[in-house]
Structure 1
Amino acid sequence: MLKGKKILVTGATGQVARPVAEALAEHNEVWCLGRFGAPGVREELERSSLTTRRWDMADHSGDALRDVPGDFTHVLHSAVHRGEDGDCHAAAEINAVATGLLMDHCRTAESFLYVSTGALYARQSLDHAYTETDRVDAVADWLPAYPVGKLAAEGAARAFARVLGLPTTIARLNIAYGPGGYGGVPMLYFRRMLAGQEIPVPVTGQNWFSPLHTDDLVAQVPALWAAAAVPARIVNWGGDEAVGVTDCVRYLSELTGVPAKLTPSPVTRETYRFDPALRRALTGPCTVSWRDGVRDTLRAHFPQYVRRSARV
């Protein structure tokens, strides 16, 4: 773990960035940028010895980062304009320009880590193990503008890494989950189960993913910073284990007794299985198995539903 560094984290209220910021704050000076829309969240971060500043990614004026110093040694850029309204033009503009402005502001950093997404990859077979060199198309029917914005920001990160000579890692995140935040996608599925809602699954086979537990995510960030390079290094950031979404939902049902309405559908929340070889070479292996991680996350968020007989 890093010590004595000055670190900037964006999107600091999210599932990825918040646990990283809180863990690093024990031995470093950590600043967090965000909109802090949820009541009380900014105060919670500041009680964890984090310095906060408001930042709107859509503000591309010269004043957007005026109150933020530029002498950070390390930057984790996890903030994103998701494009919930489906406006791909706005998503590309906001994410790319904000990333470029941030990199320029922090041009003297030792390392810049941009958190991208595996949703960029062009869909192949459901169980295909995607590598960093697989083709991308930024198509996601479940949230069309999201991967477009991420791909645009990747382009900005690649360009500014070269122009500024700023060592950069672009980490294409799989599914992050854990006890903090909202718990990640497995808990989204469990909430649907509790509400009696259908969970769309492929007509044949199942979607596969490479879940990354918060403990492993936090532990791997320093290694991803250390791997930063010019040109920017791209790495798939997921767990070591390939997990079927249908298998994960059935495991949630096994742990709780809550039924799951798995409904075959031509449109599902697509997920991606990663080949972990490059990431393992950079960070070492993960330490939390997916079953242990999902069970512990479920206990943190919905302890009343976990059966006493659930295996430990």
Structure 2
Amino acid sequence: MQLTGQRIVVVGVTGRVAKPLALALAAAGNDVIGAARFTDEAARAELEAAGITCAPVDLNRGDLDALPAAADGDLVDVVLNLAVAQSGRWPVDLRINAEAAGEVLARIRPGRFLHCSTTGVYAPKGHEAMAETDALGDNHAVMMPTYSISKIAAETVVRTVGRIFDVPTTIARLNVPYGDGHGWPAFHLMMMQAGQAVPVHVDGPTEYTPIHDVDILRTLPALLDVASVPATIVNWAGSERVSVEDWCAHLGELTGLTPTFERTDRCLESVVADTTLLESLAGPSTIDWRTGFRRLVETSFPDLVAR
């Protein structure tokens, strides 16, 4: 599937993953509609300056009137649902993550629907890589009590609504997204700047499979190409396994800061994604983690690189 000349709705467009994706899709010649609450006028202005049509919505209240509606003949090629709630309040997070995802799908009924889920839906598995067929569970409960469960609920709603309306759907389980200017590693670098210890799990090393914005965009056409009824599920992650301990050490090499760690069972444990299926569809990652982390530091913390 070629992502140019398409009419694309990006839900949650002001988010850290969605915003750079929407900007890149608009630059590639797509008609992009960005949906969000738009409480930040500067963020809205930036999107509009890039040619993105901003559609104010409130997923919690069910206010979707600004979105195209298939019932009115207002057709859309692709919907990317990247909205997420992490409030820790069950009614809110179930409403936005699960119910609203189904409402958006039912309203727009696009040619293809991609729902961004998370590898946080898997049952804890230590350091073993998690495949798409593995058991589901709550591996985020220790820090984010509503997250895993509400995202599992969202997958169920999306599968059901997609089947009812015969919309080809892909559920992409994202691991650790980051890019030039954002991501969990940037938060760790800020902790290092402040002299704070970075929490890591007692069952170390604390491993993940981070994916850069470049590879998120690169793999998107392949993920949409396998959209189906019932939904196709694919892990959306980088090809390399890397630990928080190692990436903080690398950030220290880039900046001259020395990381310290607090070993605890009150933080997230390893969540390693098996990327066999993704690589069979789109090949391995093109941005290795060391290159990606250097880019993150150079764009977000240029003063530290200079030092």
CA displacement at 1:167 relative to structure 2: 0.3
CA contact (8 A) 2:112 2:224 kept: yes
Q: Does the 8 A contact of 2:139 with 2:268 survive in 1?
A: no
SS of equivalent to 2:137 = coil
| Pairing 1:46-85 to 2, within 5 Å after superposition | 46-60=48-62, 64-70=63-69, 71-82=75-86, 84=87
Q: Which residue of 2 aligns with 1:187?
A: 186
Partners of 1:159 and 1:234 in 2: how far apart? 14
After TM superposition, give the deviation of residue 88 of structure 1 in Å.
2.4
Q: Shift of the alpha carbon at 1:39? A: 4.0
- Trace 1:277-296 onto structure 2 (pairs within 5 A): 277-296=276-295
Q: State the one-letter code of the partner of 1:40.
A: A
Counterpart amino acid of residue 144 in structure 1: P
Cα distance in 2 between the residues matched to 1:139 and 1:287? 28
* Paired residues of 2:57 and 2:66 also in contact (CA < 8 A): no
The correspondence of residues 90-101 of structure 1 with structure 2, limited to 5 A, is 90-101=92-103
Name 1:159's counterpart in structure 2. 160
Q: 1:204 to 1:116 in 2, by over 3 A?
A: closer
Question: What's 1:120 paired with?
Answer: 121
**Is 1:136 aligned with 2:140?**
no
Residue of structure 1 equivalent to 2:5: 4
Q: Does the CA contact (< 8 Å) of 1:168 and 1:232 recur in 2?
A: yes
CA contact (8 A) 1:16 1:78 kept: yes
Task: Give the direction of change, closer, same or farther, for the CA distance of 1:261–1:106 in structure 2 (3 Å limit).
Answer: same
Residue 119 of structure 1 aligns with an amino acid whose one-letter code is G
In 1, Cα distance between equivalents of 2:293 and 2:253:
12
Count of equivalent residues? 299
Q: What residue in structure 2 maps to residue 299 of structure 1?
A: 298
Deviation at 1:244, TM superposition (A): 1.1
| Structure 1 residue ranges (4+ consecutive) displaced by more than 6 angstroms after TM superposition | none
Aligned residue for 1:146? 147
Could you tell me how far apart the structure 2 residues matched to 1:121 and 1:188 are? 24
Query: 1:151 & 1:90 partners in 2: Cα distance?
Result: 15
- The superposition leaves residues 194-237 of structure 1 with CA deviations (integer Å, 9 ceiling, x where unpaired) of 11112111224211111101111111111111110010011110
Where 1:212 maps in the other structure, the secondary structure is: strand
Unaligned runs of 5+ in 2: 70-74
- AA paired with 1:260? P
Q: Is the 8 A contact 1:57 1:81 kept in 2?
A: no
Contact between 1:139 and 1:148, CA under 8 Å: does it hold in 2?
A: no
Cα offset for 1:307? 5.4
Give the aligned residue type for 1:9: V
Q: Does the CA-based 8 Å contact 1:91-1:148 persist in structure 2?
A: no
Supply the RMSD in Å over aligned alpha carbons: 1.4
**Secondary structure at the counterpart of residue 234 of structure 1:** strand
Which residue does 2:22 correspond to in 1?
21
